[in-house]
Amino acid sequence: MRRRWLFADQLGPHFLDDPGQPVLLVESKAVFRRRVFHRQKAHLVLSALRHRARDGDVRLVRAETYAEVIDEPLTVCHPTSRAARGLVRRLPGVEMLPPRGFVTSPQDFTAWAGGRDHLRLEDFYRHARRLHGVLMDGGEPAGGRWNLDTDNRQPPPRGARQLDVPAPPAITEDDIDQEVREELDRWQHDDGIAFAGADGPRLFPVTRQEALARLRHFVAHRLPAFGPYEDAMLAGDPWMAHSLLSPAINLGLLDPAEVIEEAEHAYRSGAAPLAGVEGFIRQILGWRDFVWHLYWYFEPRYRAVNELHARTELPKWFAELDADAVEARCLSDVLAGVRDRGWVHHIPRLMVLGNYAMQRGWRPGAVADWFHRCFVDGYEWVMTANVVGMSQYADGGRMSSKPYAAGGAYVHRMSDYCGGCRYDPKVRAGADACPYTAGYWSFLARHERELAGNHRMAQPLRGLRRLTDLDALVEQERARGSRAP
């Protein structure tokens, strides 16, 4: 059996044909010279590779480039970026196999997408559930409904500072983590390699055992609360009832199919309600597979699309995660989360960070690069659809039916941030104006023409036309420029 070359995001057993298959791992320092990654992301990837190297017949090679270590015939599963795929294709003696690590195949996706003008998650998700028999009772969705969003997505419980769910099992660092930490210190101080964010205790799994422990704990203890609070934010609870599994799934430590199976089993055995289980499975079988396929399905220049002509570069305070420079409580807290953990949950990513960037007209490619570098679960394939398409609407609606733009009222409804904030979500102009509220109206005013044909934007645009203080508000936003709010 040929040795299997595993990229650093292909570490689990589902990337092998046989548990005893010999493995090649390549650790390349050059990757960390090309981009300023979050320090905790670098730690996670190196620690995961080095832990995997202790497991079975594994050759781990440290090298500047991949090409210099390929000296025997190898097989490799389809990599997750165009650059890596190009590299594999150029190397003689390396056979590339179909992708693994996702539930649906490229053929499943193209059969569904072919001929459609608009690619919408809901349609793909139903197709994938039927195809793979997930949460299905015969030909019908379990419980009779495909989408239980109306039961989910509630604001946080009134007065709560934290959700009443058990914390995920803590990670215990070992000698490999210690070695990685010391080595990253040397890279920083001796080799001038820069990292974003703060170092800190390792928060996410690097081994299959740690990943399985997190999965089982989540399904048993946290999944029941996932649905109702999946969109809620609390200043004192960054994790809420989220699974925290994206770093482990994206490193390939968990097969998304097994994650889905465990979640469905929880529903079938009565351990978790359908709404939460459906909401969770929608994230993995739906969103995760959907954005993966869109990365390959859209043309390579999709990453650079910019339909809203957003050209402002990221201000220094944002680029450098300077949360202390920000007074708006939600943005400051979320930026601090990125700095200190390299992870915040979906709604802070979309409605606090992405929303702020889109409102201010920051260049989508720069925003995507920032997300890629600063998040522990950030990979090239996740960026295009999530950041360029969903969060910045830079594709003019090819994957979402309207921009995810919202004012302070959304943050107020879905979090406890506004209570202790110096800004008022109801105020549009003046010293107390919430930057999200002012930014929202200013964004709509700037793009009124482009959004006019979108029926989902008709109501907000009618609201815009009724504003009597629009000129003052727009002028105030222009004057704020790139200053931290």
In the complex, the residues that contact ligand FAD under the rule CB under 6 A are 242-246, 249-250, 283-284, 287-288, 291, 345-346, 349-350, 354, 371, 375, 377-378, 382, 386-387, 390-391
Nearest of 198, 461, 422, 242 to residue 348 by alpha carbon: 242
* CB of 385 or CB of 444, closer to ligand FAD: 385
Query: CB-based contacts of 9: which residues, under 8 Å, 6+ apart?
Result: 80, 101, 250, 251, 252, 379
* CB of 163 or CB of 284, closer to ligand FAD: 284
Compute the Cα dihedral for 146, 219, 333, 358 and give only its sign: negative
Collapsed DSSP state (helix, strand, coil) of residue 335: helix
* CB of 390 or CB of 438, closer to ligand FAD: 390
Minimum CB separation from ligand FAD for residue 387, in Å? Answer: 5
Minimum CB separation from ligand FAD for residue 267, in Å? Answer: 15
**Distance of alpha carbon 31 from alpha carbon 35, whole angstroms:** 7
Q: Residue 203 pairs with which residues in a beta bridge?
A: none
Minimum CB separation from ligand FAD for residue 222, in Å? Answer: 9
* CB of 180 or CB of 284, closer to ligand FAD: 284
* CB of 204 or CB of 417, closer to ligand FAD: 204
Residue 468: both structure tokens together: 């009597």
**Distance of alpha carbon 224 from alpha carbon 211, whole angstroms:** 19
Given the structure tokens 């320090």, which residue do they identify?
Answer: 39
**Distance of alpha carbon 177 from alpha carbon 174, whole angstroms:** 5
* CB of 183 or CB of 380, closer to ligand FAD: 380
Minimum CB separation from ligand FAD for residue 364, in Å? Answer: 11
**Distance of alpha carbon 364 from alpha carbon 343, whole angstroms:** 20
* Radius of gyration for the alpha carbons in the chain, expressed in angstroms and rounded: 23
**Distance of alpha carbon 247 from alpha carbon 475, whole angstroms:** 42
* CB of 41 or CB of 428, closer to ligand FAD: 41
Minimum CB separation from ligand FAD for residue 27, in Å? Answer: 21
Minimum CB separation from ligand FAD for residue 149, in Å? Answer: 14
